[in-house]
Structure 1
Amino acid sequence: MTVGPAIAGVLSAQQVDATGAAIAAMQEDSGALPWFPGGQTDPWDHVESAMALSVTGRVAEAEAAYDWSRRHQRADGSWPIRTLVGQVKDANVDSNFCAYIAVGVWHHFLVTGDSAFLNRMWPTVWSAIDLVMRFRRPDGAFRWGGDHHTGAMFDQAQITGNASIFQAIDCAIRLADEMGQPEDEWIRAHGALGDALRERPEIFEPPSDHSMDWYYPILGGAVRGRAGQEHIAERWDEFVVEGMGIRCVDHRPWVTGAETCELALAVDALGDTDDAIRLVESIQHLRDPDGSYWTGLVFEDGKRWPVEKSCWTSATVVLAADAISRATAGNGIFRDVRQTLALGR
């Protein structure tokens, strides 16, 4: 019998499986994985939630989610930023949202080894990454998005989005190699983006007061080793509330489960697994008896906010448990991102 992800003293395999079941229970008949039942679906969080389904052995549900992505991809390779129960509410394009399909597809292939799934999804990934490449600036950074109707691009390059794109391109390169269709343009773009994130951070929008801009260069894989550890240490005390989780915004008394578990994934990738375990343990106060997780807590007054159990928060808990326990073949999806590629330098 295969034992699923677990963290001794924090989460049992049965508890992680219950979280997977809670995610599956939120899935719409179409295959979409919304933020919460009746809530919006965006193409990035949808994929992250599908990844958690793969980890917990819910292969059919995960593939239904990826089929939703395949069916709803537009002719230009993009997805709308926001859909609500099948109705498009924001038709514009977010380059990072579109790139993330590569991470999910590579992850599902690692977990299942299913070549038929890979063959079915490869055209979707190729079209998405081809679209994302159009958002690349001459300095190696990627514009964050654009107007779907006019084709105009918004020139700003955001740290979090670009760090996530770095991981997505790496996964796309691996998929292309698996398909026997290497893409030199992707390799060059990956190398240039990594150089920019490590050596020229000033070309991006200034880091905001959100924790994601702090840890995402590590989570996405561009910054690792001693540099990554020093980067995390610089703002640890600003964001980490011991025993509670991490602040979503540095000056607000609000901890969030997803950001905390993403930071756990980042520090695990740096080799600091004990810190990762403590971080996941710190947000168990957000766990609901049904296995799902509330989005966050305002710790000054003890109130959950927003008052929702978000699909993607539950997903990050599952992914962090898998990374820490090394349970599935996809457990290294964040840890194994390559920093540099020969043709990209």
Structure 2
Amino acid sequence: MSEPPAVDGVLSAADALATARSIAAVQERSGAVPWFHGGHVDPWDHVESAMALSAAGLLSEAERAYDWLRRTQRRDGSWPLRVRAGVVEDAAADTNFCAYPAVGVWHHFRITRDERFAERMWPVVRRAIDFVLGLQRDRGEIDWARGAGGSAIGEALLAGSSSIHHSLVCALELAVHFGCAQPDWEVALDRLAHALRHHPEAFAEKDRYAMDWYYPVLAGPLRDDAGRDRIVRRWPDFVVDGLGVLCVDDHPWVTGAETCELVLSLDLLGWREHAVEVLASMQHLREQDGSYWTGYVHADGKRWPDERTTWTGAAVILAADALSGATPGGDIFRTGVPRAGLPVDDGCGCSAPVPVGE
């Protein structure tokens, strides 16, 4: 196993390991990774933390986290939106949350090449993706959740559907590895990529959120000139020099996780120097034990909320791994480029082509 990720002048390998250990210190005996001690668990942030544990070399802790997913998956392939200390607090299922284990499993396998792990988790990924695609609309977008009563929420989110795009690509990589053709998934991926690139009207209007700004780049659909234009156009709205990225464009609150996700997006566009600068800008959120505060209200000079979240530290490690290439999982987000192939059906009523991957 190689050393933990490091970025010269920003984060040492020892720093990254300390951050991973701060995440492991919050992990429950069940393997679940809550947001913080006593906090709740959701599948997406749980997987993000597991990925950071893998990248930093804490493989047994990461595998405990994935085993928790395997044991708690519901029959329909989903997980509850929120669990605290083993008790379900919100039984709804978020499609993005349920798709994301595919990214984590592929990431862990790329680092460990552990075939037994992949064999255990492949049925989990398959059931989860089938659940998620059951909420895809004809045009290609995917409803963001199924309510506790079993009905779709009836609204698609740009950031969530973009993240699902990346999850689908990783799930298909696993399918190829196991020799299990999934033509329905490939059709679904092409339809989703098409909607993300050509149909902004398909998604709820949330352009005040930074995630809606950069996620189409981070998760794959926009990594060409359209993606570069998107980042440049709204850079002044979201980036606070020396501090990081605003969560929303109308509040003076920079957040560590959003900052690190922008770092990943910049790296994918080939803007490494800017990516390193942005990663350095959020290190003011770091504590001595390696954990990270969620955010900082720069107008008041106060960290807020009063919590150090596992997923913020995880985002730092994953950004550092992408910049350093320390592990074979460091390029996990580069698998998000859509592949040309299957034509889009006429469900959306237009003839715009599916974007061709790089």
TM-score of the pair, normalised by structure 2:
0.94
Cα RMSD (Å)? 1.0
SS in 2 for 1:236: helix
Deviations 1:75-99 (A, max 9, x none): 1100000001111000011111100
What is the CA-CA distance between 1:2 and the residue it aligns to? 3.0
What's 2:212 paired with?
213
What is the CA-CA distance between 1:155 and the residue it aligns to? 1.3
Q: Any residues of structure 2 matched to 1:6-25 within 5 Å, and which?
A: 6-25=6-25
- Cα separation, 2, equivalents of 1:17 and 1:214: 30
SS in 2 for 1:153: coil
What's 1:172 paired with?
171
User: What residue identity is the alignment partner of 2:338?
Assistant: Q
| Runs of 4+ residues over 3 Å off in structure 1 | none
- Cα separation, 1, equivalents of 2:117 and 2:2: 22
SS in 2 for 1:336: helix
What's 1:106 paired with?
106
Does residue 293 of structure 1 match 2:292? yes
- Cα separation, 2, equivalents of 1:14 and 1:181: 40
User: What residue identity is the alignment partner of 1:43?
Assistant: P
Q: Any residues of structure 2 matched to 1:196-275 within 5 Å, and which?
A: 196-275=195-274
- Contact 1:296–1:304 at 8 Å: present in 2 too? yes
- Cα separation, 2, equivalents of 1:332 and 1:11: 18
- Contact 1:190–1:344 at 8 Å: present in 2 too? no
What's 1:283 paired with?
282
Q: Any residues of structure 2 matched to 1:54-73 within 5 Å, and which?
A: 54-73=54-73
What is the CA-CA distance between 1:249 and the residue it aligns to? 0.9
What's 2:123 paired with?
123
Does residue 181 of structure 1 match 2:180? yes
- Cα separation, 1, equivalents of 2:335 and 2:98: 21
- Contact 1:223–1:339 at 8 Å: present in 2 too? no
User: What residue identity is the alignment partner of 2:256?
Assistant: G
What is the CA-CA distance between 1:270 and the residue it aligns to? 0.7
Deviations 1:260-306 (A, max 9, x none): 00010011111111111111100110000000100000111211100
- Cα separation, 2, equivalents of 1:17 and 1:269: 24
What's 2:308 paired with?
309
TM-score of the pair, normalised by structure 1:
0.98
- Cα separation, 2, equivalents of 1:341 and 1:185: 15
Deviations 1:96-116 (A, max 9, x none): 110001000000011111111
SS in 2 for 1:40: coil
- Cα separation, 2, equivalents of 1:46 and 1:84: 12
**Equivalences, count:** 344
What's 1:86 paired with?
86
SS in 2 for 1:32: coil
SS in 1 for 2:270: coil
SS in 2 for 1:77: coil
- Contact 1:190–1:341 at 8 Å: present in 2 too? no
User: What residue identity is the alignment partner of 2:219?
Assistant: G
What is the CA-CA distance between 1:340 and the residue it aligns to? 2.5
The runs of 5 or more residues in structure 2 that have no matched partner are 345-358
What is the CA-CA distance between 1:335 and the residue it aligns to? 2.1
What is the CA-CA distance between 1:227 and the residue it aligns to? 1.2
Deviations 1:109-156 (A, max 9, x none): 1111111100000110000001011000011110111123x3211111
What is the CA-CA distance between 1:313 and the residue it aligns to? 0.1
- Cα separation, 2, equivalents of 1:120 and 1:109: 11
SS in 1 for 2:335: coil
- Contact 2:246–2:253 at 8 Å: present in 1 too? yes
Deviations 1:240-263 (A, max 9, x none): 000000100101111000000001
Go from structure 1 to structure 2 and tell me whether the alpha carbon gap of 1:225 and 1:31 turns closer, same or farther (over 3 Å shift).
Answer: same
- Cα separation, 1, equivalents of 2:342 and 2:109: 25
What's 1:37 paired with?
37
User: What residue identity is the alignment partner of 2:55?
Assistant: V
- Cα separation, 1, equivalents of 2:308 and 2:117: 30
The runs of 5 or more residues in structure 1 that have no matched partner are none
- Contact 2:166–2:335 at 8 Å: present in 1 too? no
What's 1:96 paired with?
96
SS in 2 for 1:255: strand
What is the CA-CA distance between 1:344 and the residue it aligns to? 5.1
- Cα separation, 2, equivalents of 1:199 and 1:275: 28
